[in-house]
Structure 1
Amino acid sequence: MSYEEKGVWVYLVVSAGVYIAYVAVIIGQAAGGPLADVAYVVPFLVSLGVSIVAAIIGRIVVEIAKPSDDYSSDARDRQINRFGEARASWFVIGGSLLALALTMLEQPYFWIANAIYLGFVLSAVVGSIIKLVAYRRGIDPSW
């Protein structure tokens, strides 16, 4: 497994795991009440910080456990990265459009912020899955 592929695995696990934890905290704070009334800003910012730190630590731990032979990206790594990012970027666009619609409908900030966050998380998760499939099966060279 290449250095870049290991990084994609870490990114997938961290992105999904931290978001699931964030949602659990928010639902726990709501305690049956309206979600829009939850104090979401601190958990939101903490989840972003934890994602960054966990990705760095995860990458280090993976390299200690199973060191890579080469730490440079080759043409295949770059092509797979472009392929995955091009397809996953639609989720960021979708989250942004949803946030724009929520803003125009004058919905609470909670829903607007979480629409954007969900778009980023879906982009990260779907992009990672696409990249991992491409690492295993390859991609059409005509792309």
Structure 2
Amino acid sequence: LHLPVGEGVLQDPVGVSMGNPHAVFFVPDAESVDLELLGPKLETHPFFPQRTNVEAVHVLPDGALRMRVWERGVGITQACGTGACAALVAAALRGLSGRTAAVILDGGRLDISWREEDGHVLMTGPASVAFTGVLDEQDA
């Protein structure tokens, strides 16, 4: 449950795989974490030869998880479904949460459940169009 990785305020992560790697860091205030600075350092840390996603998570008084994310190969994003799932599993493994919680991201809320009977992690949340466009075949 504890990886020998850290940078600045992000220390002692839980490593979780949701089919892709996640380093979940629990912090007193996710808003104050400088992901622009720390995200790329942790993404490319030698402990993660394939690089990793980085989540900064604050457990709120109501049991919800406030999460900000640095996605590997992308940078800061508004949301990350596998990251939200990883955050809930990491919080439950550390005893910071139950097996069901809301995860609040910059892009909105996701409800995550980690089923005990089969170990599946379920995510529920809204879907919306973020962008539309037309690709000229000559440019493809």
**What is the TM-score of this pair, normalised by structure 2?**
0.25
| Greater helix proportion | 1
Structure with the larger strand share: 2
Bigger Rg over Cα: 1
Q: Greater relative contact order (Cα 8 A, min sep 6): structure 1 or 2? A: 1
